[in-house]
Structure 1
Amino acid sequence: MDRNQATGLILFAAVILIYSLFFASTPEMPEVETVTTEQAESNQSNTAGQQTIADTVSENDSTLDATRVAKYGVLATLTVGEEKTLILENDLIQVEISSKGAGVKKVILKEYKSSQMEPLELLNEKSSKMDFLLEGRNGPVDLKDLYFTSSIENSQNEEGVNTKTLTLTSGTESGQIIQSFTLTDGSYQVQKSFEIDRYQGVFTGTELLFNWEDQVIAQESNLAESRRQSRLNYYTSEGSFDNLGAGDDLEQETIGEPVKWVGFSQRFFTAAIIADTDFRNVSVTQSTPEDSAIVRVMTTSLSIPLQDGKVNYTYYFGPDEYKTLKKVTDGFEDNVDMGYFFVSWVNKYIIVNLFAFLEKFFTNYGVIIIIIVFLIKLALFPLTYKSYIGMAKMRVIKPEIDELKEKYGDDATKMQQEQMKLFSKLGVSPISGCLPMVLQMPFLFALFFFFPNAIELRQESFLWATDLSTYDTFFNLPFTIPFYGSHVSMFTLLMTVSQIAYTHFNNQLTTATGPMKNLGYIMPVMFMFILNSYPAGLSFYYFVSNVVTFGQQALIKLFVDDEKIRAKVEESKAKNVNKKKSKFQQKLEDAMKAGETSRKK
């Protein structure tokens, strides 16, 4: 150590010594006593209560300080304790509840497994955060800061169904906060009651504020399909269902009317809160994270009105099974997307009940799909037959149509007019072959919505497909094809080949030419790209449907003779020789003439 360093250390020590002798202050009084005295001087009516709390703090619990007393008042002693995990369960679900705040920590669905075949945790302490706040005299009180003591009661209703009620109580001599959870065997609904007993003047608000953020845990192997089918849903007290879209962008909405329920739906499962009366001041938010372990981040904030310090509401933690959801509350079955209104009736009233009926006799869902195809095709066979006859009539009159094309090919309007006359004379309708096919379209589109959302197919195997609710990977490609993917779905390939074969067969039965003829070959290829990543159950259904339709057409062809159809056409021609134009036909011709005149001008 050199001279300058030694000199510096000596001077530094001297400064510290002088400061401690002349400038150090006397010891401060304990903070608890100071704050308590100030409160006693400023609020004379609370002197006794605050002094009692201060005494309790100083004598029994050194962890409570004046800040805690100032914030919670008479509730300060309830903010100290030991957190315990309480379990409420039945034959379907297990719910873990914390003694700190009486909040739901974890929900396990016992009948289901995750894609890794582990117990399915619908939510846990890391993914889901629920906050309940009450406006108090000293500011908002977060119930998560209070500790509760628990008791459980088992009961049985008249039908012999067991019910468990977990009651958590937190209170002092001034009052109590009571929260009860009730779970009945065979139910996914957890009924919740909240009550403030006494505590006059401690709580000033008339509503319970609720904030819920759920990082929806990915349960399926196909994350893209899960995100496509996941959305935040809500149902207003006026009976209107709505949701935030399925896009990846941040979406948020403030709902201007009372709401009956809010549900976080992730394709096959839903976590929801349901009002006994209604929720107010509801706002919802939805976003898509980069984390592949999370499907979406969904949040809601709402207020639950208190009646005399009490309120009841319900949680739903369970599967998106249409019949199960329909029993929960009004509109709750809409958490399952059954398609647009013009096709949803097929799924709601026919397909769902058909699946439920066949499940009683068959356990293999591939077999069930085959049976459903046969039943639907059998029911629609009269339409298929009419469609075939209509196309056959157009086929046998093709020579007459070709003559008109040669004669009036350059005049489109005249060609259409003469065609209409010919059809009327021969008793043939150009839409007779198309209309029956159009009437079958609701069934075709309905199944497009049903299979991606059918929890019945989840983790059900058939042939090489290990899970009919996702795509079947017959083999993986060493590269990725745009709009197709890096895997090959064999059911999708079979569907494509069968559709092309059916189109080829069908073109021989119709008069389609040019672009219309080629369109039948282009569409199956397009759908091959679209459906390659869709559920195997959907592709398998379309494949079986194509095969059965092909068989029906071939069978009808064996029993329908073109010569007999031609004879009927000639018979109609003889009857309609002097037939006058119908009003519709006359109006159509007039419209064509007017259009042609406008075009020439």
Structure 2
Amino acid sequence: MDRNQATGIMLILLLLFVYFQFFAPSPQPKQVKKDTGGVNQTPGNQAATTPVELPDSLRNDSLVNENLRRTFGDFATVASGQDKELVLENQDIKVTFGSKGARIKEVLLKNYKTYDRKPLILLDEQTSQMVYTLPANTGNINLENLYFTTTSSNIQVKAGDSTAVTFRASLSPTQYIEQTYSLKGSGFELGHQLKLTGLDNAIKNTPVQFYWIDKLKRLELDMEASRITSTINYYTQDGTFDQVSEASKSLEEQKAEAPVKWVSLKQKFFLSAIIANTTAFSAGTFKTNVDQADSSTVKTLEASLAIPIADLKSGKGNFSFYFGPNDYRVVNDVTEGFGENVYFGWPIVRIINRYFIVNVFHFLEKFISNYGIIIIILVLLIRVMLLPLSYKSYISLAKTKVLQPEIEEIKARNGDDMAKVQQEQMKLYQQVGVNPLSGCIPVLLQMPILLALFSLFPNLIELRQKEFLWSSDLSTYDSIATLPFAIPFYGSHISLFTILMTISSVAYAYFNNQMTTMQGPMKSLQYIMPIMFMFILNSLPAGLTFYYFVSNVISIGQQVVIRKFVDEAKIRRVLDENKLKNKDKKKSKFAQRLEDALKSAEEAKKKK
């Protein structure tokens, strides 16, 4: 440090000493702050010497009331209170209400359990929220923030009776919002009326918005199967049923093209729905989304509906909720088009399921309690019905087998000329009176039934949690072992019914190949296909794979029995007789067209 720096520092220290010694302000005595109850204390004010303590309740209410008036305007008088619970129940459901918003807080289905045998709470206030929004002059008012009163208490509705509870939020004796819920002694429908009285000066003449968000709780074992069968269904005033894509695992949004009569939030076997009884929702927007990382939520469903405010003022705001099973026998009687919530497959197979298989299944239920046995009987009934087709198919195969030596001779004579081989085969078939397609037609006619069952069983709530042999639930896959890893397309569990179905399918293919002249890759494909289906069906309901297993076993038995009654020597004699009769017979139009097509194909091949 040089002399100049030292001199500077000394001068600065001298200046600081002089300032603090002679010019700095004197410190003020420390005052103790007294609690004045929110009243400002000033010199000369009486409160300065005798503080007035306001009660906490009065001080808080003053601030709260001012805030409520600014936020809720005319509705401030019903924007504070105490939320009290009320329970309304019958033999099927138990509904818990909260007086705040007169809202549904929880719905319990009494006669059902979750996949892990816990009480089945279809919705609760943690996962579901239903909100009415009024277009008030001061801004939109959420009814969930208003406090309603009721004179009712917990009610258990007896069978054959019905009852109603009314919640009212009164601005004055002539101005109020009223919500009434009604319940019968049995069933899953909850009546609901929303009425606005004397509020013309407090609300605008625009629709009331109803918003419903439901994070579907996990109720079934198979999460993936639940996700691809959960969606929003809706039915419009013009009689159109529509839905948001079920299989989508990303955000989906859809708007109704016409006024909406009902909306259902559907999961695999259960529904929550709102139904407009005397009017219709003037508009509707629906959203679905999946959070793959959330193992407790199947899918998030959102519905936004517009209700004409004139209907609520005139007493036409009559609705009903449905909280219950997606059982066709129940939902078909709820309202128009509501039975569409049960998926029966494509239009062709829907008729088979709705008018035949389901009715047979329900008829057998009256006499048999074991659903595995019901499935066996159902297989027997269907196989008996298809027996004439199976017999014709077998006879067609037997005729082809008898002709095998001549077909081999044709192949040897023509070598690699496949067009010539096909022409001579068709000529032989015509001479002996054999239709090569007759063996395929019976199989094709059976396909609608197979597709009908493929669509029905995954949606049949009657199989839910029904035990049979080692399966604890025929509505989902049976698992005899869990793998420490997942196999692509197969999963991480081993389904024994699926393995048995695969083995029986391979055996059935073997029996068929004893009668067919098929060679090469097509013959091998009959053994490969069952293996491929094993991967596809491993995660499908045990009831379905058990059905296919039983069907294969019975089909093999049918073939064994039919074979005993088929005399191949007699078939050979009949074919020879037909050959003599048809020796000079003119070709049919179909045979001629087929022969011309084969010739054209051969000529085109030669040109290339």
Q: Structure 2 length normalisation: TM-score? A: 0.87
Matches within 5 A, 1:27-426: 62=62, 64-152=64-152, 161-171=160-170, 172-245=172-245, 246-276=247-277, 277-289=279-291, 290-306=293-309, 307=311, 309=313, 310=315, 311-426=317-432
Cα 1:425/1:69, change in 2 over 3 Å: same
Larger deviation, residues 406-415 vs 539-548 = 406-415
Contact 1:152-1:164 within 8 A present in 2 as well: no
Give the letter for the 2:297 counterpart.
I
Give the letter for the 1:425 counterpart.
Q
Matched residues in 2 for 1:60 and 1:27: separation?
17
Matched residues in 1 for 2:201 and 2:252: separation?
39
What residue is the counterpart of 1:484 in the other structure?
A: 490
Deviations 1:103-144 (A, max 9, x none): 111111111001221110001010001110111121111111
Give the letter for the 1:388 counterpart.
Y
Cα 1:431/1:151, change in 2 over 3 Å: farther
Matched residues in 1 for 2:558 and 2:186: separation?
45
Give, in angstroms, the shift of residue 147 of structure 1: 1.0
What residue is the counterpart of 1:53 in the other structure?
A: none
Deviations 1:229-288 (A, max 9, x none): 222222222222222221211111222322222211110111111222322231111111
Larger deviation, residues 394-403 vs 544-553 = 394-403
Cα 1:470/1:600, change in 2 over 3 Å: same
Give the letter for the 2:233 counterpart.
N
Contact 2:159-2:186 within 8 A present in 1 as well: no
Matched residues in 1 for 2:25 and 2:490: separation?
76
Contact 1:154-1:163 within 8 A present in 2 as well: no
Cα 1:259/1:15, change in 2 over 3 Å: farther
Matched residues in 2 for 1:445 and 1:533: separation?
17
Cα 1:265/1:495, change in 2 over 3 Å: same
The root-mean-square deviation of aligned C-alpha atoms, in Å, is 2.9
Report how many residues are paired.
Answer: 561
Identity of aligned residues (%): 46
Matched residues in 1 for 2:149 and 2:312: separation?
23
Contact 1:153-1:164 within 8 A present in 2 as well: no
SS in 2 for 1:462: coil
Where in structure 1 are there 5+ consecutive unaligned residues?
21-25, 29-56
SS in 2 for 1:330: coil
Matched residues in 2 for 1:344 and 1:91: separation?
32
Matched residues in 2 for 1:154 and 1:424: separation?
81
What residue is the counterpart of 1:591 in the other structure?
A: 597
Larger deviation, residues 567-576 vs 458-467 = 567-576
Cα 1:506/1:72, change in 2 over 3 Å: same
Contact 2:214-2:301 within 8 A present in 1 as well: yes
Give, in angstroms, the shift of residue 563 of structure 1: 1.0
Contact 1:146-1:170 within 8 A present in 2 as well: yes
Residue 534 of structure 1 pairs with residue 534 of structure 2: no
Matched residues in 2 for 1:205 and 1:97: separation?
29
Larger deviation, residues 317-326 vs 470-479 = 470-479
Matched residues in 2 for 1:181 and 1:13: separation?
74
Give the letter for the 1:214 counterpart.
D
Give, in angstroms, the shift of residue 11 of structure 1: 7.8
Larger Rg: 2
Contact 2:86-2:153 within 8 A present in 1 as well: no
Contact 1:170-1:178 within 8 A present in 2 as well: yes
Cα 1:472/1:60, change in 2 over 3 Å: closer
Give, in angstroms, the shift of residue 60 of structure 1: 12
Cα 1:151/1:394, change in 2 over 3 Å: farther
SS in 1 for 2:129: strand
Contact 1:260-1:275 within 8 A present in 2 as well: yes
SS in 2 for 1:65: helix
Matched residues in 2 for 1:14 and 1:64: separation?
41
Contact 1:153-1:165 within 8 A present in 2 as well: no
Residue 570 of structure 1 pairs with residue 571 of structure 2: no
Cα 1:320/1:457, change in 2 over 3 Å: same
Match of 1:442 among 432, 438, 448: 448
Contact 1:165-1:180 within 8 A present in 2 as well: yes
Deviations 1:365-395 (A, max 9, x none): 1111111111111111111111111111111
Where in structure 2 are there 5+ consecutive unaligned residues?
1-15, 34-38, 42-56
Matched residues in 2 for 1:63 and 1:167: separation?
31
